[in-house]
């Protein structure tokens, strides 16, 4: 099957990035969200990011105009039913994703491929409620989508070889690299990354080091481009906690127990950069550690 049109569910951090790269690669994109304001903000952000690419010589004004012209928005989920490929990029809560797929199901064409950008939830379980598990896959982009080169492709138990090969070709057209992962909790990247972040939070919780010393240690001592606590704020502490809970529940191993301090930050609503407060306070000119 040739993919020409792509529907993206969710205009947030991941959804707008996914819409950006598909439009820039020549696909017609239909972006949906329950919030009209979110759709407007997403289009403005995509335009700004494309302008930045123009200023850096990575694209041209003409190519930017073409990409923006390929993106349409809608507040009606059913409108995505006519797309060749649908990518769900809603919040990382299984109940929300299941409900979205249920609502969309009656409007889909038989050949449409359904995917989820989930970073940790079982693809087999999500696929089971769609009536087309053979045409369902995990399609996990990294954040920020226009910059990061990797896409995790996750097959559920019933995903067909044809569906996998189709998406493999799609990833290549985006100029990105596909990594195939088995359908185990958190797949590859987050199975390794998020427990590292959780361990950094434990080091903070136990007083091994403060926020700045922990981040500096990993940046200068392990050559990481971003410290683990800074990275947690960038990802979103609620997302980090959600993935740790999936790992803890799915693998039943105490090494995946979420750090109580991570739980407290989420309970306080200190979720990171998106709310301007997490392990750092972003409300001033420079980020200031909160511990």
Is 152 considered catalytic here?
A: yes
Question: Strand 150-155 to strand 136-141: parallel, antiparallel, or no bridges (unpaired)?
Answer: antiparallel
What distance lies between CA 43 and its chain's CA centroid? 18
Q: Does residue 14 have a known ligand-binding role?
A: yes
Q: Does residue 274 have a known ligand-binding role?
A: yes
Q: Does residue 17 have a known ligand-binding role?
A: no
Q: Does residue 33 have a known ligand-binding role?
A: yes
* CA gap 152, 181 in Å, rounded: 6
**What's the sign of the alpha-carbon dihedral 110, 141, 116, 79?**
negative
Q: Does residue 158 have a known ligand-binding role?
A: no
Is 51 considered catalytic here?
A: no
* CA gap 118, 156 in Å, rounded: 13
Q: Does residue 143 have a known ligand-binding role?
A: yes
Q: Does residue 58 have a known ligand-binding role?
A: no
Q: Does residue 227 have a known ligand-binding role?
A: no
* Candidate list 49, 117, 152, 198, residue with the active-site label: 152
| Tokens, residue 110 | 């038989």
* Candidate list 117, 190, 198, 242, residue with the active-site label: 190
* Candidate list 119, 120, 122, 242, residue with the active-site label: 119
* Candidate list 140, 198, 230, 248, residue with the active-site label: 140
SS3 14: helix
Is 190 considered catalytic here?
A: yes
* CA gap 195, 182 in Å, rounded: 18
Q: Does residue 97 have a known ligand-binding role?
A: yes
* CA gap 66, 218 in Å, rounded: 41
Is 120 considered catalytic here?
A: no
* CA gap 138, 262 in Å, rounded: 27
* CA gap 181, 239 in Å, rounded: 20
Known binding-site positions? 10-15, 33, 92, 97, 119, 143, 274
What residues are annotated to the active site? 119, 140, 152, 190
What residue numbers does the annotated binding site for NAD(+) cover?
A: 10-15, 33, 92, 97, 119, 143, 274
């Amino acid at each position: 099957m040739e993919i020409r049109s792509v529907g993206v569910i969710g205009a947030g951090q991941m959804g707008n990035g996914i819409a950006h790269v598909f439009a820039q690669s020549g696909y017609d994109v239909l972006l949906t969200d329950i919030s009209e304001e979110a759709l407007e903000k997403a289009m403005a952000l995509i335009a700004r990011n494309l302008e930045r690419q123009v200023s850096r010589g990575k694209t041209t004004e003409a190519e930017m105009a073409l990409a923006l012209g390929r993106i349409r928005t809608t507040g009606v989920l059913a409108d995505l039913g006519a797309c060749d490929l649908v990518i769900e990029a809603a919040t990382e809560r299984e109940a929300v994703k299941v409900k979205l797929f249920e609502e969309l199901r009656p409007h889909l064409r038989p050949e449409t491929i359904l995917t989820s950008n989930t970073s940790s939830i079982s693809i087999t379980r999500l696929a089971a409620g769609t009536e087309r598990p053979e045409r369902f896959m995990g399609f996990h982009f990294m954040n920020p989508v226009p910059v990061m080169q990797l896409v995790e492709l996750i097959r559920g138990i019933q995903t067909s070889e044809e569906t996998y090969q189709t998406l493999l070709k799609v990833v290549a057209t985006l100029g990105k690299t596909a990594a195939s992962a088995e359908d185990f909790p958190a797949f590859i990247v987050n199975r390794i990354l998020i427990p590292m972040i959780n361990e950094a939070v434990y080091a903070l919780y136990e007083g091994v080091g403060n926020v700045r010393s922990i981040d500096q240690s990993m940046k200068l001592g392990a050559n990481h481009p971003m410290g683990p606590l800074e990275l947690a704020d960038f990802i979103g502490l609620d997302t980090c906690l959600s993935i740790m809970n999936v790992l803890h529940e799915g693998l039943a191993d105490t090494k995946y127990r979420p750090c109580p301090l991570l739980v407290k930050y989420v309970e306080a609503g200190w979720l990171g950069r998106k709310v301007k407060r997490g392990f750092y306070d972003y409300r001033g000119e420079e980020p200031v550690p909160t511990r």
